[in-house]
Amino acid sequence: MTTLSPSGPVTGQRKVRRATMNDVARLAGVSIKTVSRVVNDEPGVHPSTAERVLAAIDQLGFRRNLSARNLRRGSSTGTIGLVLEDVGNPFYSGVTRAVEEIARLRGRQVISGSSDEDPGRERELALEFCSRRVDGLLIVPAGLQHSYLVPEMRAGTPVVFLDRPAGDVVADTVLVDNIGGTVEAVTHLASHGHRRVAFLGDAPDIFTANERLRGYREGCVRTGIGYHEELVAMGPHDEATVVTTLQRLRNLREPATAIVAGNNRITVHILRALAGSAERPALVGFDDFELADLLSPPVTVIAHDASALGKAATDLLFARLDGDNSPPRRVVLPVRLVPRGSGEVHA
Judge contact between 197 and 259, C-beta under 8 A.
Answer: yes
- 68 membership: H or E segment, kind and range: helix 66-73
**Sign (positive/negative) of CA torsion 47, 49, 55, 60?**
negative
pLDDT at 73 over 60: no
| pLDDT-derived band at 55, boundaries 50, 70, 90 | confident
Dist CA 40 CA 45 (whole Å): 11
- 120 membership: H or E segment, kind and range: helix 119-131
Determine the angle formed by the axes of helices 178-191 and 207-223, rounding to 10 degrees: 40
Dist CA 208 CA 163 (whole Å): 8
Say what the pLDDT of residue 178 is.
97
Average pLDDT on 49-53 reads 88
- 24 membership: H or E segment, kind and range: helix 21-28
Dist CA 66 CA 303 (whole Å): 38
Q: φ, ψ for residue 263 (rounded to 5)? A: -160, 175
Average pLDDT on 55-71 reads 61
Say what the pLDDT of residue 38 is.
82
**Sign (positive/negative) of CA torsion 147, 151, 156, 158?**
negative
Judge contact between 66 and 156, C-beta under 8 A.
Answer: yes
List of residues 6+ apart from 306 with CB closer than 8 A = 91, 92, 93, 94, 95, 98
pLDDT at 57 over 90: no
pLDDT higher at 250 or 58 = 250
| pLDDT-derived band at 217, boundaries 50, 70, 90 | very high
pLDDT tens digits, one per residue of 125-168: 999 998 888 999 999 999 888 999 998 888 889 999 999 999 88
Say what the pLDDT of residue 235 is.
85
- Burial class from Cβ neighbours inside 10 Å (0-12, 13-18, 19+) for residue 342 reads buried
DSSP single-letter state for residue 278: S
Q: Where do the domains of the chain lie, and which CATH numbers do they carry?
A: 19-60 (1.10.260.40), 73-175+307-333 (3.40.50.2300), 178-303 (3.40.50.2300)
| pLDDT-derived band at 66, boundaries 50, 70, 90 | very low
Average pLDDT on 261-266 reads 94
pLDDT at 176 over 50: yes
Please list, residue by residue across 246-282, b when 16 or more beta carbons sit within 10 angstroms of its beta carbon and e when fewer do. Answer: beebeeeeeebbbbbbbbbbbbbbbbebbeeeeeebb
Say what the pLDDT of residue 63 is.
53
Instruction: Rounding to the nearest 10 degrees, give the CA dihedral for residues 148, 151, 157, 162.
Output: 20
Average pLDDT on 32-53 reads 83
Share the mean pLDDT of the chain. Answer: 87
Average pLDDT on 191-216 reads 95
Average pLDDT on 302-316 reads 95
Judge contact between 173 and 162, C-beta under 8 A.
Answer: yes
pLDDT at 27 over 70: yes
Lowest mean pLDDT among 6-15, 94-103, 209-218: 6-15
Say what the pLDDT of residue 167 is.
86
pLDDT at 1 over 60: no
